[in-house]
Structure 1
Amino acid sequence: MERFMIGQYGNFSHEKQVRDFKDNFFGIEACLFECGSDIQELISTAQKGQFNIGVHFPLRTGIWRLRDPQFLSKDDEIKRSSYEYIEKEVDFLKDIKPKYILFHYPKPVILDEHVDWTNWRFDDKTEYYFESEYSFEEFRMKSEEFFKWLDYKGKKNNFIPVLELDALNRYIYDSDLLETLLQRFSSIRICLDIGRLHLQDKLDKNFSALDVTRRFAKYAEAIHLWNVKVSNKIEFSHYPVLPNLSPEDGWADVETYLRIIKEENKTCKILFEHNSKSITDEELESCYNWVNNLLNT
């Protein structure tokens, strides 16, 4: 379980820390803290417990108009302010020394207009383009520019840049662009989000979540692990992964995902990005033990 992490989002919850975190866990991923006192509590607790901090960008809330910077925007002003937003927050994080800083990629996402994206969460319309509005060549050019810049920032500030794959289109899964960039800028790693992958697999007939996992697991620094039930409706988002949740009922086949990840990557961190309050203490322990056994036996 030394690769396991929990999330602290919005604030530092002592209740969650006591219940969810175990002494041998790797660390905490923190995001969108509202108060400076919570940030200090995070730092102090990490120092006392001698565990690592990862940041799901940004650590502080309310410093830009949206959570996620839009570094691929076609709007030059939005693109410029997105880079500036990242730079200011990275500077703020220097004293905290996070192990990694995670950003959503692509952002804005590029969508296949033939898919119904109603159930994908967007803060506003600037968070996505359709393929017909955004060429592959522009996507390649702006992605390369961002990778080069982020690679430099990570090395300069001693953190691992991590890109969490957001909604994906054929520019990612039908080309070798992302693999080429990850090989060229090898300091940059990715995050596979199991809940997101499962949801897109159910929404998009051209998308295979297991294929994407097989292709990219080797580049993963972190896995965001949670489940969601997708049938004629979407239920139980960010539900803990439990062995009794059946894929036949619409749940993600977590066992298959983790067996693929085990084959491809022995060092990536497992972040339980779930709502642990939705289950009992005994079920939470079962969740941890099940995942640990799948990865280590």
Structure 2
Amino acid sequence: MIGQYGSYDFRKFERDFRKGFYGIEACLLQSEEDIFALKMAAQEHDFQIGIHFPLRNRGLVIRDALFLASDENERNQAFQSALEELEAIYRLGLRPAYILFHYPKPVILDDCVDWSKWHFSSPREYVYESEYAFEEFTQRSEELFVWMTERSRQYGFVPVLEFDALNRYVYASDALEELLKKYDLIRLCLDTGRLFLQEKRDPSFRSVPVMRKYAKYAEVIHLWNLQFGEGFIKLRYPVLPEQRQEDGWAPIAEYLQIIKEENPNAKIQFEHRSELVDDEELERCYHWVSEFLAEDPY
């Protein structure tokens, strides 16, 4: 898959999309014209649509729904805004294969980690672990899973939760895995760059075990690389086989091997900035990933 964020970019589609790709993940489209173009392209080229909530850019400071907020009014607002978005999507006739939401939101942060360089649009987007009990996390998460399951059956889409920053409630307990087993319509999105970035920021976090733990539940993999040295050197870079860990790149080959072993049917969404490479490098990116995950290139 490829992404279309902010607008439906015809030039990006012509350069990045390939025959045989599953589809396009769309997010924060600016206008009705962009949505119409996406719908028409899906019909013409026979691809599926995934939506990264929200589909439409409404100019909000916080784009994510704060489903796990401690404040009841904040939670109610999150569920209401998500429902309004679902109804609007289906009135438009898009019929997405999946709709993706960030999780957990608010993000639950380890008090001992320096999060100053993690991007947040507002302090309302996060809460520290010391202020948010494990029991509240499990209760609010199950409420979300119940709601998502009901909406999935009502509207006919796969609900996907994309990990934001994670604390030990997710990576050091089985609570989320138990919910994924109990509510098996709910799936995950694993973001390779985001997981590697947290490993570099959080000394308690290891991305490979998290990938191994949750890959089997993934509907979508957001695939991109970053090179981490003294700060960011390259961000949202297309994955290429020559990117070595000793040079500060994420262990993409190890991630892909886990995906191949645990969930070879997961959708690969190239969430990179393709303009950072030339046409030959972009083709090598596609070819390497396809060859790695399957016996035959796409």
TM-score category (smaller protein)? over 0.9
In structure 2, the residue matched to 1:66 is 62
CA deviation after TM superposition for structure 1 residue 64, in Å: 4.5
Is the CA contact (8 Å cut-off) linking 2:61 and 2:122 kept in structure 1? no
| Aligned positions, number | 293
Is the CA contact (8 Å cut-off) linking 2:61 and 2:121 kept in structure 1? no
In structure 2, the residue matched to 1:241 is 239
Is the CA contact (8 Å cut-off) linking 1:172 and 1:178 kept in structure 2? yes
**Structure 1: 5+ residue runs without aligned partners?**
none
Cα deviation digits, residues 124-149 of structure 1 (max 9, x gap): 10000011110000111101101100
Is the CA contact (8 Å cut-off) linking 1:64 and 1:85 kept in structure 2? no
Amino acid at match of 1:82: A
Match of 1:197, SS state, is helix
1:111-122 matched pairs, under 5 angstroms: 111-122=109-120
Q: Distance in 1 between matches of 2:88 and 2:236?
A: 29
Amino acid at match of 2:9: S
In structure 1, the residue matched to 2:30 is 34
- 1:92 maps to 2:125: no
Q: Of 38, 53, 74, which aligns to 1:78?
A: 74
The two structures have a TM-score, normalised by structure 1, of 0.97
Amino acid at match of 1:7: G
Q: Distance in 1 between matches of 2:246 and 2:218?
A: 28
- Calculate percent identity across the aligned residue pairs: 50
Match of 1:237, SS state, is strand
In structure 2, the residue matched to 1:175 is 173
Match of 2:162, SS state, is strand
Is the CA contact (8 Å cut-off) linking 2:50 and 2:99 kept in structure 1? yes
Q: Distance in 2 between matches of 1:17 and 1:139?
A: 40
Cα deviation digits, residues 140-193 of structure 1 (max 9, x gap): 110110110011101110000000011000000111011000000000000000
Deviating 4+ runs (over 6 angstroms): none
Amino acid at match of 2:244: S
Q: Distance in 2 between matches of 1:234 and 1:116?
A: 16
Q: Considering only aligned residues, what root-mean-square deviation do their CA atoms show, in Å?
A: 0.9
Q: Distance in 1 between matches of 2:108 and 2:261?
A: 30
Cα deviation digits, residues 103-137 of structure 1 (max 9, x gap): 00000010001111122111110000011110000
Kindly indicate whether structure 1 or structure 2 has the higher relative contact order, using CA contacts under 8 Å at least 6 residues apart: 1
The two structures have a TM-score, normalised by structure 2, of 0.97
CA deviation after TM superposition for structure 1 residue 63, in Å: 6.3
Q: Of 230, 253, 256, which aligns to 2:254?
A: 256
Match of 1:284, SS state, is helix
Q: Of 138, 141, 154, which aligns to 1:140?
A: 138
Match of 1:257, SS state, is helix
In structure 2, the residue matched to 1:227 is 225
Q: Distance in 2 between matches of 1:233 and 1:11?
A: 30
Q: Of 198, 213, 216, which aligns to 1:215?
A: 213
Match of 2:67, SS state, is coil
